[in-house]
Structure 1
């Protein structure tokens, strides 16, 4: 009896989204380290005679220029495919926004493998980025995952469930990042460093794609009855953690405030992380492949601490306060990053970012509670597209600012990122002032 029961439980787990997330994130963490080291190696001999730059500054400029173009392509090309795939998802094809992007993940990882094996020009990765974007990329994949999670959870538990998914994603990324630097150094006959790492990454993405096609099952939790909904609302009021139910008419002011906060915070985080991978390659840090893996693991550790923060803080504070705590955590850590000159200082700065990943899933949770289930997918995708459009502006801006301040203050972009985070706290604070009045009004109407 025990064995059949275990088999049934294992089969149920395999039909969920979590195994796909594990394989995808593990493969992506291996790919990120490989791409970072391949770009560093290919840009080592870059020269800019007209700019009179030193060898290291020339390498930094070449690397930052590559990432600027690469990331702009990744943000620009998914816009139309993401909208189309999200509409298909909301019309009942819930697996499409997950399976199609996973095919793009697989092809882009295969592209880097071919670049390493056949010594192809680094510019080939721009084509791989186009393929990745046309498949929807992360812009479609992550909202698709969050939509399935939203549909499979109750309104009361949605923030916690979403953060649990973030925890799993970060935990797997932590493991993958820790081993990625060591795997990169392994040789495959005469093919050089990174080959085995990229083969493993490509296989993991292939397995995740096959899993999403043949095993993934869409599950939707039915909405509670009106009486149960009211009881839940009263209990939530007593605990101080009131979920925002989807209103009959969408409150556009709330939606705008949430979108504004998300965009400003994404500008801050995206701009800083965009430069951070290049920043650690220059003196005085000059990281190796192993150190790059450890640094990426430190970033993934934030997924764990953010999840613990949600579990602890949500018992005594509202979702709005959770977002503010997360933003303050990132602002302080990235401000300290401006003055990092040694590896131990880098980890101290990252340790201040303990709760930096709380804001975005919480904002997504609040947004999903503002609209009916039939519009959840397109709403979350619209948010992701807004972040993509913002990236078209802040990626070149942060890159050029970093290149201009490279000689006198390389950490200036991190200070700028901290300022944008503080600006992002303003609309959330306004939302926090509006919600208590609205809830009190709704409760009087209910009475």
Structure 2
């Protein structure tokens, strides 16, 4: 009797969106580590006039990632919008299943580069295929939509942060393993092939799982339509009787854009930065560094659980932004590995802002518009990527000789700028709260 009930519980857990998130992040960690180290190896013979050997390799790597990430950011825009429309018309699994197919194809592309010895530029074509499937621009809003549908407005920020926690925990495990797996090889396979095979098989498993087992669950509050939040601190985000508070929506989008510009630009360069002197990290150290970044998912989740009892969602966003700004500014002056981890330790709550912004946005619209709203936010972040990818790459290349950490100082400045629109939202709250109380009294 106990065994069948245990099996039913396991089966119920397996059908949740969290299972897809965990397995996909594991596979992505393996792929990201493999791609970075393959690009490093293929760039070792790069030569540019007037540049040293190390500077030439750094430029070749940053140029590759600039082109690759621009493709990944630009191509998915239209497919992601189409998949969001399908989601809001009832096909909630479409933004998850289709991109997962693209993940499989991109992993196969890098596997061909390693096994057959094809040029690494083949990954530009793989990035196009990945983008046409909707990519991360469709996948993550799809995940957030299913998580939002299965939660109430009151608990939504906690639920979305829990998904981020599992995403980070899987990233932690995957990053710790990836550096070691990259060095595993047989007599016929080179470095990285075993790692990529595991990544590809994991993505294929998730793709099949999302088609066959993934469950779409809707909470009772969303079945009855959009409900007003009863928390006075967040009342500024309750939907007004006449429609959506568009001023707050615009301010939230602006905050997300500026914060993503700062975070994305810094992360864009960080992977290349740790491979240059004086750090000169190995494959194992790259994995450990990625794991340190994933621990921030855990600390941010704990921060949400602790702070949400005392502070409003807007204040949580500001706490996270201050955390990132301080840590990334310290990163500007990192010259040793222990200093890198000290800088990372200041980023304890840096992941709080984005899921909290998503939670607030989802409370502005009925459940039938979750997919479009969250995908619009994700595409806004992609437009931020189209700006920061070339900008940060070129600035890094220009400042490589005199201050390679300048891009991190720049990220800190943009984070502070991002605090302005969300602070305006906070200043608007008292009037909104009064309006909310008047509506309740009526």
Q: State how far apart, in whole Å, the 2-side matches of 1:220 and 1:132 are.
A: 29
Q: Which moved more, 1:273-282 or 1:216-225?
A: 216-225
Q: State how far apart, in whole Å, the 2-side matches of 1:247 and 1:371 are.
A: 10
Q: State how far apart, in whole Å, the 2-side matches of 1:104 and 1:243 are.
A: 39
Please tell me whether residue 432 in structure 1 is matched to residue 430 in structure 2: no
Deviations, residues 78-114 of structure 1 (Å, cap 9, x unaligned): 0000000000000000000000000001110111111
**Alignment RMSD, CA only?**
1.5
Match of 2:182 in 1: 184
Native 8 Å contact 1:24 1:208 kept in 2: yes
**1:389 CA drift (Å):** 1.1
Deviations, residues 210-263 of structure 1 (Å, cap 9, x unaligned): 00000011110122899x968x72xx34xx565843444011100000000000
1:264 aligned to which of 253, 258, 264? 258
Match of 2:298 in 1: 304
TM-score by length of 2: 0.97
Match of 2:415 in 1: 421
Native 8 Å contact 2:157 2:355 kept in 1: yes
Native 8 Å contact 2:73 2:385 kept in 1: yes
Q: State how far apart, in whole Å, the 2-side matches of 1:224 and 1:258 are.
A: 22
Q: Secondary structure at the match of 1:223?
A: helix
**1:189 CA drift (Å):** 2.5
Q: State how far apart, in whole Å, the 2-side matches of 1:274 and 1:130 are.
A: 19
Q: State how far apart, in whole Å, the 2-side matches of 1:207 and 1:35 are.
A: 21
Structure 2: gaps of 5 or more residues: none
- Shift of the 243–314 alpha-carbon distance from structure 1 to 2, 3 Å rule, reads farther
Number of residue pairs aligned between Structure 1 and Structure 2: 439
Match of 2:152 in 1: 154
For 1:376-415, list aligned pairs within 5 A. Answer: 376-415=370-409
Deviations, residues 392-430 of structure 1 (Å, cap 9, x unaligned): 111101100000000000000000000000000000000
Match of 2:165 in 1: 167
Match of 1:41 in 2: 41
Match of 1:277 in 2: 271
Please tell me whether residue 316 in structure 1 is matched to residue 310 in structure 2: yes
Please tell me whether residue 53 in structure 1 is matched to residue 47 in structure 2: no
Native 8 Å contact 2:395 2:407 kept in 1: yes
Q: State how far apart, in whole Å, the 1-side matches of 2:394 and 2:306 are.
A: 40
Match of 2:99 in 1: 101
Native 8 Å contact 2:327 2:344 kept in 1: yes
Q: Secondary structure at the match of 1:421?
A: helix
Match of 2:11 in 1: 11
Native 8 Å contact 1:155 1:243 kept in 2: no
TM-score by length of 1: 0.96
Please tell me whether residue 29 in structure 1 is matched to residue 29 in structure 2: yes
Q: Secondary structure at the match of 2:221?
A: coil
Structure 1: gaps of 5 or more residues: none
Q: State how far apart, in whole Å, the 2-side matches of 1:112 and 1:45 are.
A: 20
Q: State how far apart, in whole Å, the 2-side matches of 1:326 and 1:396 are.
A: 26
Match of 2:75 in 1: 77
Q: State how far apart, in whole Å, the 1-side matches of 2:222 and 2:211 are.
A: 31
Match of 2:130 in 1: 132
Q: Secondary structure at the match of 2:220?
A: coil
Q: State how far apart, in whole Å, the 1-side matches of 2:317 and 2:305 are.
A: 13
Q: State how far apart, in whole Å, the 2-side matches of 1:106 and 1:94 are.
A: 20
Match of 2:117 in 1: 119
Q: State how far apart, in whole Å, the 2-side matches of 1:149 and 1:218 are.
A: 9
Native 8 Å contact 2:142 2:371 kept in 1: yes
